[in-house]
Amino acid sequence: MANNRIIIKNGSVLGRKSEDIAIIDGRIAERSEHIEATANDTIIDAKGLVVAPAFVDVHVHLREPGFGYKERIATGTMAAARGGYTTVCSMPNLNPVPDSVENLKAQQDIIDRDAKIEVLPYAAITIGRKGEELVDIASLKGKVCAFSDDGSGVQVDGMMERAMTEAVKYDQLIAAHCEVEELLHGGYIHDGEYAKLNGHKGICSESEWAQVKRDIEIAEKVGCRYHVCHISTKETVALVREAKARGVKVTCETGPHYLIFTDMDLEEDARWKMNPPLRSAEDRAALIEGIKDGTIDMIATDHAPHSVEEKSKGLKDSAMGIVGLETAFAALNTHLVLKGVISLERLIELMSYNPRRVFRIEGGIEVGDRADIVLLDTEKAWRVDSEKFYSMGKISMFDGRDMVGDIAMTIHRGEVVYKAE
């Protein structure tokens, strides 16, 4: 049995103390201060590195099937492994939309063939993500991580109530991209100072928080597990905080970019264009308070690659979305951990433990866990070069920026899926 044992030696587990970890048949077999190695063991020397449960990103656009010119499951999952992730949840704005068992299979077949790590697909909430007809939740449960119409909000109150009522029957999670379409008015960045100074059409905060408020009320009424995607406004943070205090089964995520930048960091360049947009300094401060006090459960990248052409038309006309899998840990370590905003341990909770708990995903570093592990070089200084990304998406606001902290190795099910050069 011990013939195929892997031992990670000399690593600092969660940045606390040096422990060895033994892996047998893809699972954690032992953890102790010293594990005696034999000639047959494979040794991974983690001296100077932090050993943590690998990251989980619950909000990723892998673009296949339907949009393989933007990203492929093979490239997106390799980018994820390079970023320290062993599980990503793939969003349903695809062609075909995963709104039936048959349409989901089109995506699952590519996952089974090409994925370098675990990919858990979302199913749509409504047929074609059109908001008009509910999918058959009963037939899709167990095949997907959750239900979402991401890319669009469910506009009709009654439809969201039907979806949540049905989800409760089968203990399924509803994850919502919250956006009231009639409040958008053709906006494409935050309706803040930068938009006013530079003559751009803005997206108001209410377009997000008004729908969050509605959804929380429905979730509270029917008892649904409800997850809010990519929150960006101070009002949303307050609504989620109040709902949690009342015992509503609500969780939420925000993205690295919302915690680091504001609309006043914008340039006339589509690297800065995503939905929801970068908001005000007040919003950013509220989001940071939210990750500190537990209102915000997790950080997800909303990795949304596009072709260079689609991102070359300036702020107004370029596609919404940026890539994030390969820079998330480094950016958050540089801008939050090293500046004393949150601890490394809290960052690991936000990127690993909490998404696993909320989305019921296996893996970790406790004995018996599936061996999904990341080795972090928290002191490595490097400069982002998007041309070296594994992702097909090369448009990043972090391109050319100096970072501290990077991924040394990613291990999934006991197999090394990424190793730094």
d(CA 359, CA 169): 17
Determine which helix (DSSP H) or strand (DSSP E) holds 386, and give its type and residue range: none
Of the residues 215, 302, 377, 406, which is catalytic?
302
Question: Are 96 and 342 within 8 A, CB to CB?
Answer: no
Q: CA nearest 331: which of 398, 277, 378?
A: 398
| Alpha-carbon distance values, 297 to 94, 254, 290, 345, 368 (Å) | 27, 9, 8, 14, 25
d(CA 66, CA 68): 6
**Residues in CB range of 130: below 8 A, 6 or more apart:** none
d(CA 378, CA 407): 8
Question: Are 90 and 120 within 8 A, CB to CB?
Answer: yes
φ and ψ of 145, to 5 deg: -80, -30
Question: Are 63 and 70 within 8 A, CB to CB?
Answer: yes
Q: Is 302 a catalytic residue?
A: yes
Question: Are 384 and 400 within 8 A, CB to CB?
Answer: yes
Structure-token pair, residue 388: 């070296």
HEC readout, 142-195: CCCCCECCCCCCCCCHHHHHHHHHHHHHCCCEEEECCCCHHHCCCCCEECCHHH
Q: List residues with catalytic annotation.
A: 302
